[in-house]
Structure 1
Amino acid sequence: MSKYLYLLFFAVLMVSCIKNVKQESSTATGENNKPNIIIILVDDAGYIDFGFMGSKDLETPHIDTLAKNGVTFTDAHVTSTVCAPSRAGLMTGKYQQRFGFEANGTGDKNTGDVGLSEGVTTMADVFKEHDYSTVAIGKWHLGANPSDQPNQRGFEDFYGFLGGGRSYFPLEQPSEEHMLQHNGKRISFDGYLTDVLGDYSVNYIKDHKDTPFFMYLAYNAVHTPMEAKKVDLEKFKDHPRQTLAAMTWSLDENIGKLYNKLKDLKLLDNTLIYFLSDNGGAANNRSDNGELKGWKGNEFEGGHRVPFIVSWPKAFKGNRKFNGLSSSLDIFPTALAAAEIKKDSSMILDGVNLLPFLKNQKEGNPHRELYWRKLDDAAARLDDLKLIRLDNYGAVMYNLSDDIGETHDLSYQDSVSFNLLKNNLQTWESQMEAPKWDEGKAWMDVTYHIHKQLMQNKKVKYKSPREKHE
């Protein structure tokens, strides 16, 4: 009897040893069963301001490589036309209006800093709970109160700044919102902020190469202020958009550093990478939205249709385009599916798992309907039809399949569809909360003017409060 027990013990010991050897081998080659997840979010980028999107004058070779090895989405949208609410929707996987995060900023003079609602779950919360290392790098803009800062919203590590923008160069006496910090402690740096953030992203993956990680890499480029390194300005000295070209070049270099390090560490194959802009190109940074109407801050396509790449070489083929209607809301459920994490039954996610579409297991549109609202202005999609509504003014409707520039109002020609879209929007709004703050009368008046003029296909007279009073 003891002989059989000995043999059984020896067999179990051998199986255990073989399993451990396999695990150690897998770790040594940088292969985790769970994919690494990286979201690269850029700021205020123009729709066609990348080579893979058709730019003829801005150079983005590394981002173009990412696009070549991934899938480029041609009808992809963020949930808001401005920075903070767009980030709130992305980070929570739900329409930010569900928790009143509708206007830009994180509060106003009446409310104080509100930020993310305490009961809202972030992607980082979920991945941390499932043994991922979690890091946020760069711009936060989701609240500066201690309870809203990244370290309290699921990120074990935060290297960046809390506010919505700052200089790309060192500041002598920065506020708490504008200082570069590491987990609450101010960091002094030399050089150019885009490089500093890029270097940290590279060092982080070197230090965490043996365990799965979730990285939210939110560059503030190419948001104002328009500042670039001298060497890059010299490279583009004769360029008509010199500073933007230089800033974009630096952004691309740093994304390239990360991409190449993933490749060197043999992590690239099993890393799910998303690349997108937080909203459309802005009116004040010389960005180019191509044939799209509008820009950051308004509900036309130029405000919320964005460049969007998804890459995961291990799981699906790249070098192709996907034309289905999709949203930044899809990032959360797709990442959960990739990591084989089951969604909690109580969690509301408004996005769709894109993996079946990316793996050619499913065709068509991930969404038939999408919705947007920012205070006085709102919009709705239903297949190719798009409604834009301005409170106390009216609404227009376009068919984007043959009018991507949104110039031909079909509201009178097709009243049935027009009324359907209006009703759909109202139904969606009934499920949302009222906005918890606004953007102030000066900016709201400007935004109202822009929508009113564009809805009539008229020239916009001013794009900021300063321009209005010049």
Structure 2
Amino acid sequence: MKDSRASIKGFQGLLLALPAFFVCMGFHASSAQSKPNVIILLADDLGWADLGYQGSKDIRSPHIDKLAKNGIRFTDGHVSASVCSPSRAGLMTGRYQQRFGHEANSPPPSDGMDLKQITLADRLKKLGYRTGLIGKWHLGNRDEFYPARRGFDYFYGLRSGSRSYFYHAKKDDKPGNPKAIEENGKQVEFDGYLTDVFGQKAIDFIEAKDDEPFFLFHSFTAPHGPMHATEEDKMLFASIENPKRRTYAAMIWAMDRAIGQLVDSLKASGEFENTLIWFLSDNGGATGNASINLPLAGHKGIKFEGGTRVPFFAHWPKRFKKPKNFDSMTISLDIMATSLAAAGAKEESLKNLDGVNLLPFIEGKKDGHPHQHLFWHKLWFSAMRDGPWKLIYVQDYGYALYNLGKDLAESKNL
């Protein structure tokens, strides 16, 4: 009898505890759902002047333009390197990649990003995010650098830096080729044009969403070479006489189409308003893809503005109520700190980053500028910004000083 009474009391205690338990569970779910999804849309070798919102007259990008029009446009926005892999290393860590020796596309000694570095995917995963990478990795071909070991729950794409936009079983898609398309460690075949395939995989990732927020790194190969586009897309730009630029325009059109479909998926799932979308290029336009960086000087691979200043904006309807140009210096490293702050990370966890949380600056809660100085370095080529002033050093050639406030084209060495 005594045991029976004890059991009844225990059961009554459990009943009394249940409401509090469900309240806590409800609070947890609400808290998780209030965190924004985070998407990084990274173009590859996109020219400064090659989007509609950047003033292009021959290339059309309506979906990107609409996001930019309704977002925060970083007019003095930069990447931390003027070539693919180092730029991605900075983006994924929020730190100047020179700090861990990642200055080139194949950094010594291991040809991959230092395994001691913590990625944005690592950090967001700890905050309860589901993480995915679609597209180009280019932070190490070997298994120890595989995206699944760098914080990503899902990966569909290529380990290396470029490949054909169509399936080639005897070339890029040969077994073991780092250019081959893989899905979570297994090499797979694909049909159609690769940018379209990546776009559909991004939608699949979004639509697989559960109650937890997600982080999607949508790393396009477009418009990086090889210069491949579908005939249907090229026909849309028949008025462009240069055949290479016609193909380039079609590649951007396909990327823009994929982004439009991604936005439609977000809206259909009710996730659009509370999704923080970043768009930028990994570096400036390259010399070989018919891109245009004007009025900026230079191109991919060098430290003039055409190599590091890129189309760059953020879009988050729930938080960014008033679209605007943000004219202070910003850098891709800021994406890490800002995304973590948006996800509710503790402020002290941002202190070891070179990037800055842009939210208080965007929203007018903090005066001044996110950065007074920015730095670039690769082997024999260095540059730094101090406000409008830019100093460039090239080994064997010496120094050059420009006032970008008066000379954005870097045409007058002071």
CA-CA distance at 1:170 after TM superposition = 0.4
CA contact (8 A) 1:89 1:96 kept: yes
Any conservation in 2 of the 1:43–1:220 contact (CA below 8 Å)? Answer: yes
1:76–1:362 distance in 2 versus 1, CA, 3 Å: same
Give, as a single letter, the amino acid of the residue that structure 2 aligns with 1:364. G
Q: Deviations over 1:162-221 (max 9, x none)?
A: 011000000113243110000110110110000000000001110015311111110000
Deviation at 1:309, TM superposition (A): 0.8
What SS does the aligned partner of 2:39 have? strand
2:168 aligned residue: 171
State the secondary structure of the residue aligned to 2:42: strand
Query: 1:73 is matched with which residue?
Result: 74
TM-score, normalised with respect to structure 1: 0.81
Q: Does 1:213 align with 2:214?
A: yes
Query: Deviation digits for residues 95-129 of structure 1, max 9, x if unmatched?
Result: 0000100022345xxx5x42111211111111112
Instruction: Percent identity, please.
Output: 47
Counterpart CA distance in 2 for 1:18 and 1:349 is 36
How many residue pairs are counted as aligned between the two chains? 400
Secondary structure at the counterpart of residue 371 of structure 1: strand
2:134 maps to what in 1?
137
Output the aligned Cα RMSD.
2.3
- For residues 274-313 of structure 1, what are the structure 2 equivalents within 5 Å? 274-313=278-317
Partners of 1:73 and 1:364 lie apart in 2 by 15
| Partner amino acid, structure 2, of 1:383 | G
Partner of 1:117: 114
Equivalent pair of 1:311/1:318 in contact (CA under 8 Å): no
Give runs of aligned pairs for residues 381-460 of structure 1, distance below 5 A: 381-410=385-414
How far did 1:10 drift? 6.8
Shift of 1:8: 9.2
Indicate the SS of the match to 1:163: coil
Structure 1 range deviating more: 169-178 or 397-406: 169-178
Provide the rounded CA distance (Å) in 2 between the counterparts of 1:20 and 1:165.
45
CA contact (8 A) 2:127 2:343 kept: no
- Mapped partners of 1:225, 1:76: distance in 2: 27
Change (3 A) 1:345 1:257: closer
1:368 aligns to what? 372
Mapped pair 1:204 → 2:205: yes
Shift in Å at residue 347 of structure 1?
6.6
Write the letter of the residue equivalent to 1:124: A
In 2 relative to 1, CA 71–182 (structure 1 residues): closer, same or farther, beyond 3 Å? same
TM-score, structure 2 normalization: 0.91
Question: Counterpart amino acid of 1:211?
Answer: E
**Alpha carbons of 1:318 and 1:186: their partners in 2 closer, same or farther (altered >3 Å)?**
farther
Asked if structure 1 preserves the Cα contact closer than 8 Å seen for 2:138 and 2:161, the reply is yes
* Correspondence 1:149 to 2:146: yes
Aligned positions of 1:11-160 closer than 5 A: 13-14=18-19, 32-107=33-108, 111=109, 113-160=110-157
Question: Which letter does structure 1 place at the counterpart of 2:181?
Answer: L
- Give the letter aligned to residue 74 of structure 1: T
Letter in 2 for 1:88: A
Task: Give 1:362 shift.
Answer: 2.4
Q: Which runs of 5+ in 1 are unaligned?
A: 411-470
Query: What corresponds to 1:339 in structure 2?
Result: 343
Distance in 2 (alpha carbons) for counterparts of 1:106 and 1:235: 40
Structure 1 CA distance for aligned equivalents of residues 196 and 247 of structure 2? 16
On the 8 A contact 1:38/1:217 being kept in 2, the answer is yes
